[in-house]
Structure 1
Amino acid sequence: MTGFALLLVVVAAFCHAAWNLLAKKVCGGTAFIWIFASLSAVIYFPLALWIVLVEKPSISPMHLALIAGSAALHSVYFILLDKGYRFGDLSVIYPLARGTGPLLSILTAIFFLEEHPTPLALAGAAFIGIGILVITGNPFSQKASGAQKSIIYALFCGAAIAGYTVVDKVAVSTYLLPPLLMDWSTNLGRVLLLTPYSIKNWAKVKEQWAAHKKEALGVAILSPLAYILVLTAMVFSPVSYIAPAREVSILIGAILGAKLLSESDAKLRLAGAGTMMIGLVALAIG
């Protein structure tokens, strides 16, 4: 993985951890997801239009199928993440969700995309997995109300991450759909998928908008920005490297959870995050 790709992924990690902190504070459900997705569609529309007018990408039925699949998987991801945050800590649910996804992505990339990461890169991914275990401990031993339910949501969330990571990798590298246009189209698809629910529950939408305008705007800007940077890196880097490298955001998330949300076991979780950083270095070298 090149230094430029690593830089893109690290900047994306800061953006990703920041919007997850906002989402954790709100836990606004599907109504909040629809609000920030709609704002994102509006905010990034000029850039998407510029790409269409300047680059003139050809859009085939396969492109539309990939966009639809990614939109569905992203919708599932956001809904599951929100449900997980309702019951669990940011510094537990975030590592579980973010860690499960890349490990599944690597397996998928190896067996279905025929990628061949180096032994050092695989060792880096293993260190990331060890760091996740250190951070979470044995999450199923937690006795707090709803804790185990939140972990189930996080694990399914990780599976959704693996799914859309591979779909989006194919879209931007094999079918050469511009990363920003891919993300914007996927986001628009998410808006369309969630609009029937939002119309039916318009009172909840108005309630979330009245209470969380600033948070919605923050997520609307940071969430697409983080993923656009990752998609750009995917254009010229294997997904089996990019997916686990993204998990530097877990270090940031653990710090945010400990410092800003006063979550417990800060030292242990930061130690696990440090282990993950070793894995990140191995990925960069490999």
Structure 2
Amino acid sequence: MPPGTVAMVLAAAVAHAVWNLASKYKRGDAVLFVCAYTCASALLCVPIGLAFMADGQQVLGWQLAAGAAVSAVLHTAYSLTLQAGYERAELGVVYPVARGTGPMLAMLFAIVLLDEQLTAAAMFGASLVVAGILVVTGNPFRSGSRRPLQGLLWGAATGATIAAYTVWDGYSVVALHLAPVSYYAATLLLQSLILTPSLLRRRHRIRAAIRGDAVPILIVAVFSPLAYILVLTAMLKAPVALVAPLRESSIVIGSLVACRLFGEGHLARRIAGAVIVLAGIAAISL
């Protein structure tokens, strides 16, 4: 993978870590929070996407409509599956399993479905990135963990949805030739429409939620689309099978910063995982 593309994906990882850290400061209803930042992201991105269309960089056609519709369904399925997993099993099990299986499945799907070809060094590097992520997140089956099997199943289901939207979005920007900004703007718009019924059911709490979580909502609304548009752009220049695990290095960044901001422990283990991820990044870039 070209060093410039590696840098782009790592920049996306930083942006991803920023919005995930901001979301930890959320105080209100989780569903309202997701609805609020999704709608805010759509308000920010749709005008930019329309500008790309006016400039001739994207044509409004069935490819854009179909690609964005499938992507919106997959992204919504990811959000709902993740939320259901967190409600039914421990976050400490669901989160690492999802983030470990997601990039690995995306890599396998991209090789099988998109017929991507990787060198042995690139596959080794991608595997190192996934291994480092698992080291950072820790052992989900540590003593004291309840219902590990249920957490494993929900984590794997979440990882499957991550892999599904990653591979589909890669196919959309590469094979369907959709401009990343316009494509993701359309996806956000359709996601907002899908989430509208949930928003209406909670309409009496909207004002309080926005007032209480205005800053986190704004940060997520800006950095979440920025991170993913960088990833989609990188998919135009590098295989999805490599971009998928590399973007998950955001977990390492977020975990290390969380040690400082939130007083979370296991610093030595997280640093060790970060070193493994950096070794994988080096192998991919070479």
Answer yes or no: same fold by TM over 0.5. yes
Give the Cα–Cα distance (whole angstroms) in 1 for the partners of residues 120 and 6 of structure 2.
Answer: 18
Give the Cα–Cα distance (whole angstroms) in 1 for the partners of residues 152 and 271 of structure 2.
Answer: 20
Tell me, which stretches of 5 or more residues in structure 1 are unaligned? none
Per the alignment, residue 197 of structure 2 pairs with 196
Give the Cα–Cα distance (whole angstroms) in 2 for the partners of residues 67 and 284 of structure 1.
Answer: 30
Classify the secondary structure of the residue corresponding to 1:25. coil
Q: What CA deviation, in whole Å up to 9, does each residue of 1:137-194 have, x standing for no partner?
A: 4302352568876665443322211111111111111111100011111111110000
Does the 8 A contact of 1:80 with 1:157 survive in 2?
A: yes
Relative to structure 2, which stretch is displaced further, 267-276 or 111-120? 267-276
Per the alignment, residue 242 of structure 2 pairs with 241
Does the 8 A contact of 1:95 with 1:250 survive in 2?
A: no
| 1:132, distance to aligned residue in structure 2 (A) | 2.8
Q: What CA deviation, in whole Å up to 9, does each residue of 1:8-33 have, x standing for no partner?
A: 10111100011111223327422111
Q: Percent identity?
A: 36
Q: What letter corresponds to residue 12 of structure 2 in structure 1?
A: A
Per the alignment, residue 41 of structure 1 pairs with 42
Q: What letter corresponds to residue 25 of structure 2 in structure 1?
A: K
Report how many residues are paired: 283
| 1:231, distance to aligned residue in structure 2 (A) | 0.5
Does the 8 A contact of 2:99 with 2:133 survive in 1?
A: no
Relative to structure 2, which stretch is displaced further, 138-147 or 5-14? 138-147
Give the Cα–Cα distance (whole angstroms) in 2 for the partners of residues 275 and 218 of structure 1.
Answer: 29
Give the Cα–Cα distance (whole angstroms) in 2 for the partners of residues 189 and 198 of structure 1.
Answer: 14
Q: What CA deviation, in whole Å up to 9, does each residue of 1:93-148 have, x standing for no partner?
A: 65543332211111001111111110001101121232233223430235256887
Q: What letter corresponds to residue 133 of structure 2 in structure 1?
A: I
Per the alignment, residue 31 of structure 2 pairs with 30
Q: What letter corresponds to residue 6 of structure 2 in structure 1?
A: L
- Map 1:72-87 onto structure 2 (within 5 A): 72-82=73-83
Per the alignment, residue 102 of structure 1 pairs with 103
Per the alignment, residue 88 of structure 1 pairs with 91
Cα distance change on mapping 1:255 and 1:94 into 2, 3 Å: farther
Does the 8 A contact of 2:131 with 2:277 survive in 1?
A: yes
| 1:45, distance to aligned residue in structure 2 (A) | 2.6
Cα distance change on mapping 1:137 and 1:255 into 2, 3 Å: closer
Cα distance change on mapping 1:256 and 1:155 into 2, 3 Å: farther
Give the Cα–Cα distance (whole angstroms) in 2 for the partners of residues 190 and 234 of structure 1.
Answer: 22
Give the Cα–Cα distance (whole angstroms) in 1 for the partners of residues 57 and 7 of structure 2.
Answer: 28
Per the alignment, residue 162 of structure 2 pairs with 161
Does the 8 A contact of 2:15 with 2:223 survive in 1?
A: yes
Give the Cα–Cα distance (whole angstroms) in 2 for the partners of residues 46 and 139 of structure 1.
Answer: 42
Per the alignment, residue 174 of structure 1 pairs with 175
Per the alignment, residue 254 of structure 1 pairs with 255
Q: What letter corresponds to residue 99 of structure 1 in structure 2?
A: G
Give the Cα–Cα distance (whole angstroms) in 2 for the partners of residues 2 and 257 of structure 1.
Answer: 30
| 1:52, distance to aligned residue in structure 2 (A) | 0.8
Q: What letter corresponds to residue 177 of structure 2 in structure 1?
A: L
Does the 8 A contact of 1:32 with 1:205 survive in 2?
A: no
Per the alignment, residue 18 of structure 1 pairs with 18
Give the Cα–Cα distance (whole angstroms) in 2 for the partners of residues 149 and 25 of structure 1.
Answer: 27
| 1:84, distance to aligned residue in structure 2 (A) | 6.0
Relative to structure 2, which stretch is displaced further, 230-239 or 21-30? 21-30
Cα distance change on mapping 1:260 and 1:96 into 2, 3 Å: farther
TM-score (norm 2): 0.90
Cα distance change on mapping 1:34 and 1:123 into 2, 3 Å: same
Cα distance change on mapping 1:243 and 1:154 into 2, 3 Å: same
Give the Cα–Cα distance (whole angstroms) in 2 for the partners of residues 18 and 185 of structure 1.
Answer: 23
Cα distance change on mapping 1:264 and 1:9 into 2, 3 Å: same
Classify the secondary structure of the residue corresponding to 1:236. coil
| 1:2, distance to aligned residue in structure 2 (A) | 1.1
Q: CA RMSD in A?
A: 2.3
Give the Cα–Cα distance (whole angstroms) in 2 for the partners of residues 119 and 269 of structure 1.
Answer: 27
Does the 8 A contact of 1:96 with 1:132 survive in 2?
A: no
| 1:212, distance to aligned residue in structure 2 (A) | 0.2
TM-score (norm 1): 0.90
Give the Cα–Cα distance (whole angstroms) in 1 for the partners of residues 143 and 52 of structure 2.
Answer: 48
Cα distance change on mapping 1:179 and 1:145 into 2, 3 Å: same
Tell me, which stretches of 5 or more residues in structure 2 are unaligned? none
Per the alignment, residue 5 of structure 1 pairs with 5
Q: What letter corresponds to residue 38 of structure 2 in structure 1?
A: A
Does the 8 A contact of 2:136 with 2:252 survive in 1?
A: no
| 1:75, distance to aligned residue in structure 2 (A) | 1.6
